[in-house]
Amino acid sequence: MTELDPVIHAQARLRVVATLAGLAHDDRIAFPRLQKLLDMTAGNLSTHLRRLEEAGYVTITKTHEGRTPATYVALTGAGRVAFEQYTTTLRTVLGGAS
């Protein structure tokens, strides 16, 4: 049986990837908005995003809007494929449990 992706399988990272997968393919979300949606601390979210970024599943863009720093997060193509594979594997595992 195929293993569940350990990078995505952690509860917090699964919530992050599932939220990002709900965006359009070329869309991104502001860090504070993602933080609020997931009800996570900035430090906790940053830690999980770093792990997802290291795996190539998300991109983090730091920019400025006027003089205000802004950080945006987007799911990469590889992240979208990994999430689709994760959900397919999970369905298989759950289907075998019934």
Domain boundaries, the chain: 6-97
pLDDT at 8: 97
Above 60 in pLDDT, residue 46?
A: yes
User: Taking the complete model, does pTM exceed 0.85, yes or no?
Assistant: yes
CATH 1.20.1270.360 is the classification of domain 6-97: no
pLDDT (tens digit per residue) in 49-84 = 999 999 999 999 999 999 999 999 999 999 999 999
Q: How far apart are CA 94 and CA 91, in angstroms?
A: 5
pLDDT at 35: 98
* Axis crossing angle, helix 11-21 with helix 42-54, rounded to the nearest 10: 80
pLDDT at 98: 57
